[in-house]
Amino acid sequence: MTVEKTTKKKTSKKTKTTPPSFVAEEEKDDATPTKEQHSPEEEEQQQQQMMPSSAVKKLPQITVARLLNETQLGVAMHKRIVRQMTELRHVSGNEKFLQDVCTCLLHVLLEYKRDLHTERVIRFIIAFTSHREPGHEEEADEFCESLIRFLLNVTAAKDRAVRFRACQMVAGILNALGPDAEISDDLYDQMEETMLERLRDNTPAVRAQAARALSRLQDGGEDADFSNSEITTAFIELIGGEKNKDARKAILGALAISDHTISVVVERTRDISEEVRRIAFLALAAKVPVESVSIEHRALVLRRGLNDRSISVRSACVDMLKKWMSSSVCENDPIKLLKLLDAESHPNVSEMALKTLIETKTVKAMAYATKEKSETSGLRRFFLKKSEEEEEEEKVSVVELFSPEEALFWRVIVEALANQTSSSGKDTSLAVGQARAVLQAETEEVEDALDQCLPESSMDLLRAISMHADGKTTSSVFAARQLMMTLNCSDMNDGALRRGAATLVYERLRSIGDLNDENDVSCYARGGDGEWEKQLIDLAKRVHDDNEHVAVVLGACDSLRGTVTDEENNNKNDDDVNDDTNVYAETQALFIASSLFETANNSSSSKLPAHATEAVMQSLVRPAVAHASAGVRREGIKLLGLLLMCGTNALTEETVQILRTAADVDPSEPVKCMALRALGDAAMLYGPKALDARRDMPVPKKGIHVRFDDDDDDDEREEDEKEKENNDDADADADGEENETAGYQLTLEKQLLRIIESACEPFENPKDKTDLEELDAENIDAMNEAAFTESENSAQTIACETLAKLALRRGYYAFEQPSLVISTLLGAIFACNAQETPRLAQCLAVFFPAIASAPDAKVRACLIDAVLPSLRMASQKKGVAKVAAFLTSLLELETGISSSSNHKEGGDEASNSDTDKNKNLDGVIERSDAGEAELVRSLSIEILALNAKPFGTGVAGAQVKAYHAAISRVLSRVPIPDVKSMLTSQPNDGNAVNGSIVSEETKQRVTLQLSEAFVAMKMATKKCPKEKIALKDINIAKDRIHDSLGVSSSSSSNSNNINNDNEEGEDEVETLFNEDLQFAEYAEGVEKYASELSQSEDLPFYDRKGPKVSKLKEKVMAAPARERSKRAAAQVASEKWVEDDLNVPLAKVTPQPTRSSRRREALQEFNE
């Protein structure tokens, strides 16, 4: 119930609502009088004069402070103290009593810690304020409003403790008021305004209490759906972005439940906090009637709750399920509950819910396993024995078939009894003595119940299955499938049952229903879901021995295909009549064969022989891939892909060319997607190179020229010269020729990349076509329909999934250009729209963290080599900083093996405690370290090449600066191999990098690459002094490379020079001088690389031009001595002074220092 606003004018006189502004000191104990206090006798005389005679004996020396101190002792005395406070308020008057209470509360408001004594005082204040003594209701209401106004005034305090305690007391008072309580309009508006402001407080505890305070202030409006309530709208907006779990719990508990807010509560059932999820289920159980929840939400909530990993959440979901079961809609009838869940649409959830009720003893299987219930509503009602008189009276008997809910219910009951029989039999075999006799009796009782639940004979059960299968509706076929599952509880050693089941499989696999009945959906080809055929194949496995069921199923497929051929021969002129029949029969045959191979065992002993593989190709696949119907072609491609998995010698040039051609030129998108999925599975099994070797090779345009005149050497020379001249033109036209080549003639890698690039522009941010307000919570949650449509019609999604699987499975050597593949996938994740392509977004969101943290070095090498190409591709688009941040987060992920890479900005080394555990003695792991060091070198030279020219101004200059900053950020965070550990480690030493053996070649290569990177960083720091953010990252990267190479960082030495003496400064100069000499050999090569890269097309913005320079400035730069004579003369004079100073012996110019460095002593001896 909410607190209702009222506009009634109260007849009683209003007291002053504003609390006193003064703050009195805490009242002292009256037992020890002071100078300011009167003696107990005088004080008692004054109280006797002021109070009535009836109150003199009840309230001797009672004050507010004394009573509040007593409330801290325990909750049991709160009722007595409430009565005393009420009498004291009546005697003292509302205004005086309010001042005393507010004065005492000022001490409570300052306590932020939720200790026991403070909570007891607040609990008492809430109970006393909401208490209405009979006969003093107006006095209590006036005090309540005045105290709430005082608390609202202090909610804007700077101290978080005051805000928290004030909101806590306001929330407690409002929730403790009765359903008939009334407050004035101005107080209502003030509370709503104040608490909405506190709802966005920076302290989570204050937000939680503000939400509790607003729970009863929500206005349902005319429609009572709370859609126009400002408070409800604020709750919905804040609960999705709230980071604190306690605040989310409070908002969820305070949210008013209606059709407008049920979806929000359902969304919280997948919250990251188990406490919030539990509150969501409790709210659904307590506040939401089951009939108010949609069927999709019911199934969704049960699926999440019953599968939750937390025991408390599962318990709350079970309580909700019991509440639904005992509601007026279900009336403790499990079949009615299954109807609320729509068992036909959600069979798994319905089965899970029913089994949960059986486990919790809410539904007792033994109670339904009686002869009476089985004959009236169970499995025996179809075969009741009737007398001759009853048979004569009933000329026509109509048997009502099972509904989907009834069939599911009886199937679960039979399985539960069978499982109970099995477990009781095991317990009986292990027990001894009297316990064995008791368990044996219980087992016999359960067996008798199971016999009464099932039909009298197994053949009756088969006839019941056939009766439901002949219904030709989705409900009847679903019921037949449920009844067929009960055969698992029967004894298949019975010969009659095996023969009857074999006959059932033989007949039903060859049936495609009544073609004249448009509502017939008895098979997959006529609109079924295919579960009926899969159930028949599973029954065939149980009936037949070994692999005999394969011959039975393929024989049924040949029979369906044979009926198509016979009808084509008999009715050649009646094409319109036979088209539908041919499509149905061929689709059904292909689907049955595909279902057989989907459930097949992939062991070598169970693979299809070579002659059987060729027979399937001849009878099913080849006619299907050339069929005019897209549905038939799709099923044929699916069967061909499964045949590559299960058939012997199935990978041939014919099969590969069929799949490659269908993936490229088929006009139907579902056929393309199925062909791409089959190619991906084959590539995972056989490898991409095996598929590329069997593709249709492109024919060269120029052809082959054969010469017969060997003496004409001049012609040969002329042709060689022409070929050399045309080499450049040929390279330029290579891309154009590749684009003209058909996709099925390219390698599989290039074909997949072409499909992805044709669907979207890499790193192109998608436009937000859908607003959040237009989205439905059900669609946001599951995205089932969108994901299914995408998997059937989006070739881009299937291509990305295929490349991602190959990268994770086969690693670096699975592709010709692994960096291009990963860069394209990275561009796809930034270009895809998660609302339109949820399957692609989820696939790539899982793929990149998996490849970044893969324990195999060759898998991680794909990502490491793709970092720089990805940044180059993203440099021309907006959001290169986001790409850099995403790559940085991937590079910083921990791998499956321990890493000695530096992940901290200060250059701290990671511990190598786990190296022994992860050591690999089988080989030398080189790719990971070399790849990381090579990435550091490439990024360093890229930064140096960018600084070769000015960045420019305007939009182009901003893009260059953004790219420069992005590379610097990645370089400052990329893991760097520890060269010190590599150089000191031995082949059998535990100090090896990444717990692996490092070869001498790898050590040398990594040292060389990091040394060149260090030199490039030193050069880059001198060329970009204006880019402060990038310069900071560059210095961090330089220091980390220093530490990796075993050289102390310059930044640390600079930080230590503040209070050092002159000698230490000279030693630092010497150290830097030695470092320059050490890395001088790399400077020329690094500068050459950077210069070549700055002019290369590989570098983004390589063709940018510097800022325009006026002619006057060019003259000034050309002749600085004439144009700026004073400045040039001063510079020349200073240089001459330095030169003269160096030529003079140091002993005559420089005074003898007390402690000189070695370098200066050597120079002095030389001068002397």
Q: What is the DSSP secondary-structure string of 1040-1088?
A: HHHHHHT---HHHHHHTTSS--HHHHHHHHHHHHHHHHHHHHHHHHHHH
Q: Which of 403-407, 422-426, 784-788, 918-922 has the lowest mean pLDDT?
A: 918-922
Residue 858: band (very low, low, confident or very high) from pLDDT cuts 50, 70, 90:
confident
Q: What is the pLDDT of residue 674?
A: 92
Residue 547: band (very low, low, confident or very high) from pLDDT cuts 50, 70, 90:
confident
Q: Which residue has the tokens 């069921």?
A: 549
Q: What is the pLDDT of residue 35?
A: 36
Q: What is the pLDDT of residue 1127?
A: 58
| 253 sits in which H/E element | helix 245-254
Give just the sign of the alpha carbon dihedral 1112, 1115, 1117, 1123: negative
| 629 sits in which H/E element | none
Question: How far is it, in rounded angstroms, from Cα 783 to Cα 897?
Answer: 36
Q: What is the pLDDT of residue 373?
A: 75
47-54 average pLDDT score: 46
Q: What is the pLDDT of residue 943?
A: 87
Q: What is the pLDDT of residue 338?
A: 93
Residue 920: band (very low, low, confident or very high) from pLDDT cuts 50, 70, 90:
very low
Residue 912: band (very low, low, confident or very high) from pLDDT cuts 50, 70, 90:
very low
Residue 1134: band (very low, low, confident or very high) from pLDDT cuts 50, 70, 90:
low
Model confidence at 679: pLDDT above 90: yes
Residue 897: band (very low, low, confident or very high) from pLDDT cuts 50, 70, 90:
very low
Q: Which residue has the higher pLDDT, 1062 or 875?
A: 875
Q: What is the pLDDT of residue 1005?
A: 82
Q: Which of 199-203, 427-431, 885-889, 1119-1123 has the lowest mean pLDDT?
A: 1119-1123
Model confidence at 331: pLDDT above 80: yes
Model confidence at 1062: pLDDT above 70: no
Give just the sign of the alpha carbon dihedral 1124, 1126, 1130, 1133: positive
Q: How many CB atoms lie within 10 A of CB 950?
A: 12
Round the average pLDDT of the chain to a whole number and report it: 76
Q: Which of 2-16, 130-144, 672-686, 783-797 has the lowest mean pLDDT?
A: 2-16
The backbone region for 93, taken as left when phi is positive above 0, alpha when psi lies in -120 to 50, beta otherwise, is: left
The backbone region for 203, taken as left when phi is positive above 0, alpha when psi lies in -120 to 50, beta otherwise, is: beta
**3-state DSSP helix/strand/coil % of the chain, to nearest 5:** 70, 0, 30
Which DSSP letter does residue 776 get? -
Model confidence at 636: pLDDT above 90: yes
Q: Which of 257-261, 976-980, 1052-1056 has the highest mean pLDDT?
A: 257-261
Q: Give the pairing of strands 996-997 and 182-184.
A: unpaired
Q: What is the pLDDT of residue 847?
A: 93
Model confidence at 312: pLDDT above 90: yes
Q: Which residue has the higher pLDDT, 857 or 1137?
A: 857
Q: What is the pLDDT of residue 470?
A: 86
Q: What is the pLDDT of residue 799?
A: 92
Model confidence at 1159: pLDDT above 80: no
Q: What is the pLDDT of residue 1135?
A: 60
Q: Which residue has the higher pLDDT, 1070 or 367?
A: 367
> What pLDDT, in 10s, does the model give residues 800-839?
999 999 999 888 888 999 999 999 999 998 888 877 888 8
Model confidence at 523: pLDDT above 90: no
Q: Give the pairing of strands 4-6 and 182-184.
A: parallel
> What pLDDT, in 10s, does the model give residues 970-1005?
988 888 887 767 666 555 444 444 445 567 777 888
> What pLDDT, in 10s, does the model give residues 84-99?
888 888 888 888 888 8
Q: What is the pLDDT of residue 785?
A: 63
Q: What is the pLDDT of residue 1126?
A: 57
List own/partner pairs for 860-863 with CB under 8 A and 24 or more apart: 860/895, 860/928, 860/931, 861/811, 861/812, 861/818, 861/927, 861/928, 861/931, 862/807, 862/811, 862/812, 862/815, 862/818, 862/819, 862/821, 862/822, 863/822, 863/890, 863/891
Model confidence at 355: pLDDT above 70: yes
Separation of CA 675 from chain center:
29
Q: What is the pLDDT of residue 574?
A: 52
Question: How far is it, in rounded angstroms, from Cα 50 to Cα 388?
Answer: 102
Q: How many CA atoms lie within 13 A of 483 on its CB side?
A: 32
> What pLDDT, in 10s, does the model give residues 25-40?
333 333 333 334 444 4
Residue 779: band (very low, low, confident or very high) from pLDDT cuts 50, 70, 90:
very low
285-291 average pLDDT score: 89
1053-1060 average pLDDT score: 42
388-409 average pLDDT score: 67
Report percent pLDDT > 70 for the chain: 72
The backbone region for 1104, taken as left when phi is positive above 0, alpha when psi lies in -120 to 50, beta otherwise, is: beta
Q: Which residue has the higher pLDDT, 782 or 196?
A: 196
Any residues with CB less than 8 A from the CB of 1140 and at least 6 apart, and which?
A: none
Question: How far is it, in rounded angstroms, from Cα 742 to Cα 616?
Answer: 29
Q: What is the pLDDT of residue 325?
A: 92
Q: What is the pLDDT of residue 320?
A: 94
Q: Is there a contact between 855 and 994 (Cβ–Cβ < 8 Å)?
A: no
Q: Which residue has the higher pLDDT, 562 or 305?
A: 305
Model confidence at 337: pLDDT above 70: yes
Q: What is the pLDDT of residue 569?
A: 55
Q: What is the pLDDT of residue 269?
A: 92
Please report, as a single letter, which amino acid is at residue 96: K
Q: Which residue has the higher pLDDT, 16 or 353?
A: 353
Q: What is the pLDDT of residue 832?
A: 85
Question: How far is it, in rounded angstroms, from Cα 459 to Cα 469?
Answer: 15
Q: Which of 449-458, 501-510, 1126-1135 has the lowest mean pLDDT?
A: 1126-1135
Residue 726: band (very low, low, confident or very high) from pLDDT cuts 50, 70, 90:
low
Q: Which residue has the tokens 């959830």?
A: 349
DSSP characters over 63-96: -HHHHHHHHTT-STTHHHHHHHHHHHHHHH-HHH
> What does the block give as tokens for 1115?
């003259």
Residue 1106: band (very low, low, confident or very high) from pLDDT cuts 50, 70, 90:
low
Model confidence at 568: pLDDT above 60: no
Model confidence at 22: pLDDT above 80: no
